[in-house]
Amino acid sequence: MKPNHYNGRVDCIKTIRELTLEHQNDAFTDYCRYQSFKYLWRLGKKDDVLKELLKARQFLTFAIDALENENEQ
Radius of gyration of the chain (CA): 14
How far, in Å, CA of 13 to CA of 37, rounded? 10
Higher-pLDDT residue of 58, 73:
58
Per the CB < 8 A criterion, the answer to whether 37 and 24 are in contact is no
How far, in Å, CA of 40 to CA of 12, rounded? 10
Could you tell me the residue range of the domain that residue 11 belongs to? 4-72
Tell me the per-residue pLDDT of 20-53, one tens digit each, with 9 for 90 and over.
Answer: 888 788 999 999 999 999 999 999 998 999 999 9
How far, in Å, CA of 27 to CA of 63, rounded? 10
pTM score = 0.79
How far, in Å, CA of 71 to CA of 67, rounded? 6
Number of domains in the chain: 1
